[in-house]
Amino acid sequence: MSALYYTIVVAILSSVIATIIGTISAIGIHKMKSKRRKLILNVNYLPVLNPDIVTAVALMSLFAFINIEFGFTTMLLAHIMFNIPYVILSVLPKIKQMPQNIEEAALDLGATPMYALRKVILPQIKPGIVSGFLIAFTMSVDDFIISFFNTGNGVSNLSIEIYGMARRGIKPEINALSTIMFVTVLGLLLLSNKKQSIVRGDK
């Protein structure tokens, strides 16, 4: 239960924070000039293309260098850094699909920049934000290597716990928990598909 608690808390916190940072970053990247945008996107691709072990060791070295005690904080920071590129890659295409000059039109009609962001831009890119959050949440729950290298004593998520049990034998509690998680995810998928079919039917 402790491992499940840390898994859910880290996944939710890292996904929410990564989604906020990733969305703001994607909007900023979209407004950059072409050369600078390509440079930033190439840097953003690195954590996605790198093997997880490289990212895990790099983050572990960084935390050790700045003398942060390994534990819940380092695991959370590692998951946030790991998830941000996926959020950016989910949100950026939706920003590119927005009608051109829609922000300028809102500003010309008297909207402030913050109001235009909340009422015009964010609703337009909402599907990308939701997708980025779900990808970040899934990656966080699924991750083992980055969690293993960036956690401390007394803090472990389900992936670390199951890896530790693999040598001694999987306990029945893990089988029951896996079944509950599978049924929960399946139920959410069915509800999501049903909701989408109802919306399409109304249209």
What is the reported pLDDT for 50? 84
**pTM for this predicted structure:** 0.82
Q: How far apart are CA 108 and CA 98, in angstroms?
A: 17
Q: To which residue do tokens 């380092």 refer? A: 74
What is the reported pLDDT for 196? 65
Report residue 198's pLDDT band, with 50, 70 and 90 as the boundaries: low
pLDDT in tens, 166-188: 777 777 777 787 788 788 878 87
Long-range CB pairs of 63-67 (<8 Å, 24+ gap) are 63/150
Q: How far apart are CA 148 and CA 163, in angstroms?
A: 10
Tokens of 2: 């402790």
Q: How far is CA 188 from the centre of its chain?
A: 18
Tokens of 165: 């049990």
What is the reported pLDDT for 112? 82
User: Residue 187 burial by CB count (10 A; 0-12/13-18/19+): exposed, middle or buried?
Assistant: exposed
Residue 201 has pLDDT above 70, yes or no: no
User: Residue 1 burial by CB count (10 A; 0-12/13-18/19+): exposed, middle or buried?
Assistant: exposed
Residue type, 76: L
pLDDT in tens, 45-85: 888 888 888 889 999 999 999 988 888 899 999 999 989 99
Q: How far apart are CA 151 and CA 13, in angstroms?
A: 16
Least confident of 104-108, 138-142, 194-198: 194-198
